[in-house]
Amino acid sequence: MTTPPYLNPGDKVAIISTAKRTEPTEVNQALAVLQSWGLKPVIGQYAFASHGFLAGTDVQRLADFQQTLDDPDIKAIFFTKGGYGTLRIIDGVDWTVFKQNPKWLVGYSDITLLHAHVHNFGIKTLHAVMLQGYTKSTPDSIESIKRVLFGESLGYKIPIDPLNRAGEVTEGVLVGGNLSMLYAITGSESDIYTSGKILFIEDIDEYLYHYDRMLISLKRAGKLANLKAVIVGAMVDIKESTIPFDMTCEEITLQHFDCPVYFGFPGGHVPDNRALIIGSTVKITPDNSTINIDFL
């Protein structure tokens, strides 16, 4: 896997919106943080455009994304917000220049699509808080982004969850992100090869039966076979339907994986949303009190 060049003070970074519309006030704090790191935010022409639910028309959002991918002066791309919309433009993107000169793509949720698509090029990306989330994110979440982008080491010690299905020391390439998006891209050009890898999943606002359905669909597509391990992030507002499903989210998860499963990673739609380098080799080391996750 190719690691995009790390950043240096003075580098220009793009601010764009490929999904849900965003107001300028929602990202002011994040822009201040980036500037405090010595970076120079360059706001896309349509970053704050509006077209119903979306941040501008498909043509506008695609134009901003393509321009920043191709601009050699832009060293990383920060997405303002997730929600929905990136899937509408992905097939119009020309990746030729990006493949030759990779740069960091920073986001999560709807941006899982880009993590998966770019993973197939053999290029690492950064699953992390998007700009509108800086106002409610923990300092550790924001600091983890800086550590990755400026080339510092990254690792986490996660308290052991009693529901874990622990294994031995494990190494593998990290893939994944938002479960709903992984489910949505199955069978498409953006779909990922998961065999022999470590899968990370998180989600928000789903019914238990739909969570079960997504995992079964991925299993039927061969995506859950031969995994080294599964890291489970925050599952927020996973709820019962009118007729109770009568299984917890954790029980459903354990039912569908036959590899080590580690719950409780601080990632996803929660304030403590730590950065993950998608495409990096990860070493998982369980001990008596923590699960150590180190990026190699």
pLDDT tens for 93-151 read 999 999 999 999 999 999 999 999 999 999 999 999 999 999 999 999 999 999 999 99
Class of the CATH-defined domain 155-295: alpha beta
pLDDT digits (tens, 9 = 90+) for 51-86: 999 999 999 999 999 999 999 999 999 999 999 999
The whole-number pLDDT of residue 112 equals: 98
Cα radius of gyration (the chain): 18
12-149 matches 155-295 in fold = no
0.85 exceeded by pTM = yes
User: Which of 109, 144, 190, 280 is flagged as catalytic?
Assistant: 109
Percentage above 90 pLDDT, the chain = 99
To the query of whether residue 269 is one of the catalytic residues in this protein, the response is yes
86: its two tokens: 């990136």
To the query of whether residue 109 is one of the catalytic residues in this protein, the response is yes
123: its two tokens: 């290029």
Domain boundaries, the chain: 12-149, 155-295
pLDDT digits (tens, 9 = 90+) for 185-237: 999 999 999 999 999 999 999 999 999 999 999 999 999 999 999 999 999 99
Q: Which of 108, 137, 109, 110 is nearest to 30 (CA)?
A: 137
User: Kind and range of the H or E element at 216?
Assistant: helix 208-220
The whole-number pLDDT of residue 106 equals: 98
User: Which of 115, 117, 210, 269 is flagged as catalytic?
Assistant: 269
For residues 201 and 223, give the distance between their C-alpha atoms in angstroms, rounded to a whole number: 12
User: Which of 26, 117, 119, 202 is flagged as catalytic?
Assistant: 202
Q: Tell whether the model's pLDDT for residue 39 goes beyond 90.
A: yes
Question: How far is CA 2 from its chain centroid?
Answer: 17
Q: Tell whether the model's pLDDT for residue 288 goes beyond 90.
A: no
Write down the CATH number for the domain with range 12-149: 3.40.50.10740
For residues 84 and 103, give the distance between their C-alpha atoms in angstroms, rounded to a whole number: 23
For range 239-250, the mean pLDDT: 94
Q: Whole-number mean pLDDT of the chain?
A: 97
Q: Which of 171, 66, 177 is nearest to 116 (CA)?
A: 177
Beta strands in the chain (DSSP E): 12-16, 40-43, 74-79, 104-107, 125-127, 155-159, 170-178, 198-204, 229-236, 261-262, 276-278, 281-286, 290-295
To the query of whether residue 17 is one of the catalytic residues in this protein, the response is no
